[in-house]
Structure 1
Amino acid sequence: MHSIDTLIIGAGALGLACAARLAEPRRDTLILEAEGLIGSHASSRNSEVIHAGLYYPPGSLKAELCLEGRERLYAWCAQHGVAHRRIGKLLVAVQQDEITRLDALAANAEACGVHDLQDIDQARLGELEPALHGVRALLSPSTGIIDSHAYLQSLLALAERRGAQLVLHSRVERLQRDREAWIASGHSAGEAFSLRAQRVINAGGLFAQRLAARTEGLQAPLLHLCQGRYFGYAGRSPFSHLIYPMPEANTAGLGIHATLDLAGQLRFGPDVHWLDTLDYRVDESLRAPFAAAIARYFPALDAARLQPGYAGVRAKLSGPGEPAADFLIQTPADHRLPGLVNLFGIESPGLTASLAIAERVARAL
């Protein structure tokens, strides 16, 4: 049976960040990905936003790793030539009764260590974004956008330069402890395989719990699938910043916000739609509810220019009506299984936090 030092399961942002951090020439590192492309799920189906770290409970992993990851990610992009831009985000109180929530958000951000928010009054808001309706806003200059595909490729390139190997179409279906190592078994390009690894990182994203349920000695947390759908906006964008309304009360999302890609193309989303099974469809019938939500802060919206875009699915540890759950980085100290780290519930801001998460994983192993 082939033996390696480190097995990384999943070639999304988390798995590739771990590979880039852990790979070294004297240690065999193998990345196994079930799909035919890297980043086929959450890592390529998101807003491509570098988050500043405003919304999360102070002291939570999301708050800490978002701030650390944000700075690591900006530095990484500069060092490795990954296209990105600190475009800035406006958090908007559309009506007077939302100002209290805007102030609470500012206080939360300050408690999380975000100290650069700027208070924007209505007159200044009109100067910054003439098409935007709002009575007050906060400007987050640390928020940015990134070419997520280029980022994934840069992580893989560094990991491979350090000796890591990526194998696609390879699904790990079971993990068993064998004395001082782990036996990983599954199928690669239709052929059964087994290999021995000293260290295993389960970075399977939406499929991490499935593998955890088939890992000897491990209890898998419950997975909740939450779909977020996006609509594109044809033609020139009226905005030069990212636009976020106040987070929706009692939902898992931040509201249908406006984001830009690096080419200046505008898109709206995501919404919140709970699923029983994985589904990436975006139905034309969503145009009307999207238009109604967007028109609150963009009154000149031309609904005919809204076009169904794409959908992502969040791997959440909390369900409908429950408080948002934190990231779960399950280390040997947590489950008493040497050499195994599981990454559960790494939804937003997972892309922003990916390099910081990889650092935590490295310390745990």
Structure 2
Amino acid sequence: MVRPLLAALNQHGRYAYRAPEFQVDHVVIGGGVVGLAIAHALAQRWPDKSTYVLERHAQVGQETSSRNSEVIHAGLYYPAHTLKARMCLRGRELLYQRMAQWGAPTRQVGKLIVGTHDDYAYLARLHAHAASLGPLAPPTELLNGDDARALEPDLAPSMAHALWSPRTGILSVHELMAHLAQGLDTLPSGETPDAEIVHGTSVVRLDPHEPPRSASKRGADASQEGWVVHTRTHDASHAQTDALLARVVINACGLNAPRVLNALMAGLRAPQAQWVPMYFAKGSYASYRGPGTEHVRHLLYPTPHLGAGAHGTRAVHALGTHLTLDLDGHARFGPDLEWLDAPAEDADAEDALGYMHDVWETQLAPSASEAWLDGMHAAVRTYLPGVQRAGLAPDYAGVRPKLAGPDARAFQDFEVLWHSSRALGQQRVWQRALPASAAPSGVLVSLLGIESPGVTSALALAEHVVEGLAARVWGDADPRGRARRYVDDVGPAGLEAWA
């Protein structure tokens, strides 16, 4: 049984509470593709409001975002009416549109999901499901084996059926993130928004802000509601932190997102059984140079029971070991699926920033044993028999944030949770909307379990979050947000000196 990690920011009390010294409208925790997309959308919608992305690494996208297949998913697999389905379908179209506007390359190469005679029922169900997904439903076509081999002549003779998905594509995630970051510097109009990425800075503590009781009338518009975000720069002394008062906090730090939400649960002395569990699933990729893929022009996905890879039947929790192409036409295989066990909780496992040691930090290289490569080769040969073992080489690995372990049978959706800094103790952990009594400020939005198709869904998730903030925080009457300002005395309205 895989053990989850139950961990929270400042779990062992290393960082004491500090009164806020600066104020900011939006803090986005995490500079991955989802965090950048949300920050970009905030800066475009409300350029006069301050938006700061806090990224603990020296560059953006160093964890999950830069370690995936770089596929624009069509949205075939997810149950209708789930958030994951809606975000993938909408995000797919936004990606193609925005990348074209930016002049960034994408290729709508399409993909074939291939199977044997025994897989026809699965492929037929997938075809019918795709057709039922509404106005943005991805087109699909059922093919027999000969028709599939007309598209991909290297397919195994045993591949008797296939589902063709022409709307699937590929992109460069690094180019996507670069354009999102650029949008924080300059608007299409040439105007400069009040937005910035702050690198090398970790969030180490989060607390709801309690406004002074004496400011009753001035605080009646919730202008003093918010969150105290404690940060530490990596070149600062161990004890040195800064405290910011943020009207809105976006928790988009991927693999560590549950730590932020769990910190609030710990502050309320909620038992660990009520915390959000953290599971980690490693996926390794192999590059390929050799015969057997000379004619491949599309992405090739096996049905889930095919291509399980070195970890056998556990790969049914993923989509099998598939073939993807990059924008230069190079083939790679993967990912497989390997569940990582969390370490036993131990105060000595804290790093210098007060985190428990990230279980996945040492897992960012492929499992490059001969047995792993043998298993990858065996999986691939079920549908591409000409692939040679000697042409496979370890490439890279990524770790996916999971909210449920390998024994889970229910579909795991994306989770976008909303919390108010007011009356936090009366709110639920798994809260998908703000309570009616919530103040129109002091909002925490947590994005949890954003694994595949996270890149495809990023722009739609950003749209979803911004629409929620427009409805409950800033309002649509003044889209530039000039009317509402802080009225308390918490430092300057901007972070130029701090950042």
TM-score under structure 1 normalisation? 0.96
Q: Partner of 1:226 in structure 2?
A: 281
Q: Partner of 1:11 in structure 2?
A: 31
Confirm or deny that 1:82 pairs with 2:104: yes
Q: Take 1:28 and 1:281, find their aligned partners in 2: how far apart are those partners?
A: 37
Residue aligned with 1:105, SS: helix
1:25 deviates by 3.0
Q: Take 1:78 and 1:353, find their aligned partners in 2: how far apart are those partners?
A: 17
Q: How does 1:84-233 map to 2 (within 5 A)?
A: 84-93=106-115, 95-113=116-134, 114-133=137-156, 134-161=159-186, 162-179=193-210, 180-191=225-236, 192-215=241-264, 216=267, 220-233=275-288
Q: Partner of 2:446 in structure 1?
A: 342
1:163 deviates by 2.7
> Cα deviations across residues 183-213 of structure 1 (Å, max 9, x unaligned)?
0002112332211110100000001112222
Q: Take 1:335 and 1:212, find their aligned partners in 2: how far apart are those partners?
A: 15
1:307 deviates by 0.4
Do the aligned residues in 2 keep the contact of 1:257 with 1:269 (CA within 8 Å)?
yes
Letter in 2 for 1:280: L
Letter in 2 for 1:326: D
Q: Which residue of 268, 292, 297 corresponds with 2:378?
A: 292
Q: Take 1:220 and 1:47, find their aligned partners in 2: how far apart are those partners?
A: 31
Q: Take 1:115 and 1:55, find their aligned partners in 2: how far apart are those partners?
A: 11
> Cα deviations across residues 134-170 of structure 1 (Å, max 9, x unaligned)?
1111110100000100000000100222331111111
Letter in 2 for 1:272: L
Q: Which has the larger radius of gyration?
A: 2
Q: Take 1:46 and 1:261, find their aligned partners in 2: how far apart are those partners?
A: 11
Residue aligned with 2:132, SS: helix
Q: How many residues align?
A: 364
Q: Take 1:344 and 1:195, find their aligned partners in 2: how far apart are those partners?
A: 23
Q: Take 1:212 and 1:193, find their aligned partners in 2: how far apart are those partners?
A: 20
Distance 1:115 1:18, change over 3 A: closer
Residue aligned with 1:213, SS: helix
> Cα deviations across residues 39-94 of structure 1 (Å, max 9, x unaligned)?
0011110000000000111111111110001001110100112211100000111x
- The answer to which of 16-25 and 218-227 deviates more is 218-227
Distance 1:84 1:235, change over 3 A: farther
Residue aligned with 1:3, SS: strand
1:325 deviates by 0.8
Letter in 1 for 2:200: H
Q: Take 2:330 and 2:369, find their aligned partners in 1: how far apart are those partners?
A: 20
Do the aligned residues in 2 keep the contact of 1:121 with 1:137 (CA within 8 Å)?
yes
1:115 deviates by 4.6
Letter in 1 for 2:464: R
- RMSD (Å) for aligned C-alpha atoms: 1.6
> Cα deviations across residues 88-140 of structure 1 (Å, max 9, x unaligned)?
000111x2111111112212222334251012222221211110121111110
Q: Partner of 1:266 in structure 2?
A: 331
Q: Take 2:164 and 2:261, find their aligned partners in 1: how far apart are those partners?
A: 41
Structure 1 or 2: more strand by fraction: 1
Unpaired runs of at least 5, structure 1: none
**Runs ≥4 residues deviating over 3 A:** 216-220, 332-338
Confirm or deny that 1:242 pairs with 2:295: no
Q: Take 2:25 and 2:401, find their aligned partners in 1: how far apart are those partners?
A: 28
1:353 deviates by 0.4
Q: Partner of 1:253 in structure 2?
A: 318
Q: Partner of 1:34 in structure 2?
A: 56
Residue aligned with 2:320, SS: coil
Do the aligned residues in 2 keep the contact of 1:37 with 1:168 (CA within 8 Å)?
yes
Do the aligned residues in 2 keep the contact of 1:21 with 1:159 (CA within 8 Å)?
no
Q: How does 1:285-364 map to 2 (within 5 A)?
A: 285=370, 286-323=372-409, 324-332=411-419, 334=433, 336=435, 338-364=442-468
